Amino acid sequence: MDNKETQDEALSAAQRAKKARIMKSKSAVIAKKRELAMKKKASPEKLKQRSLKKARDMLAKKILKKKSKADLGQKGKENLEKTLDKKKAVIKKIAKKLLPKLKKAEAERMTAMNQKKEE
């Protein structure tokens, strides 16, 4: 699966295991690219993607109440994914509200990075 593909349905156990193997083999490349990306300002698309992820995580936390996502079994994770897929409209609304905060945080990160570079 590519990073750019959107996930339309929950992953099965085999798909999840396959994705885990692929990601483990790519971990060094991903780490290097992340390091390079952190030196650049995030694009508006990237900020939107971050806000959607943050909104999805917030909603998942609310659905799970005091449980951790890591404590869930395979079926629990699949059910959570299905529930979150049904709430795409709510996730988009939350993401839209989070976007200004993320933009501000990104601007602060860039100024802090520039100050560190000057020293």
Domain span at residue 77?
42-118
Looking at the fold, whether 36 and 86 belong to one and the same domain comes out as: no
Question: Would the pTM of this model clear 0.75, i.e. be above it?
Answer: no
Residues 49, 68: Cα–Cα separation, whole Å: 23
Q: In the structure encoding, which two tokens stand for residue 92, read together?
A: 């988009």
- Is the separation of the CB atoms in 103 and 47 below 8 Å? yes
The predicted-structure confidence for 31-69, as pLDDT tens digits, reads as follows 999 999 888 999 999 999 999 999 999 999 999 998 888
Looking at the fold, whether 50 and 105 belong to one and the same domain comes out as: yes
Looking at the fold, whether 73 and 35 belong to one and the same domain comes out as: no
Looking at the fold, whether 24 and 71 belong to one and the same domain comes out as: no
- Alpha helix positions (H), 41-87: 44-64, 74-86
The predicted-structure confidence for 65-107, as pLDDT tens digits, reads as follows 988 888 888 888 889 999 999 999 999 999 999 999 999 999 9
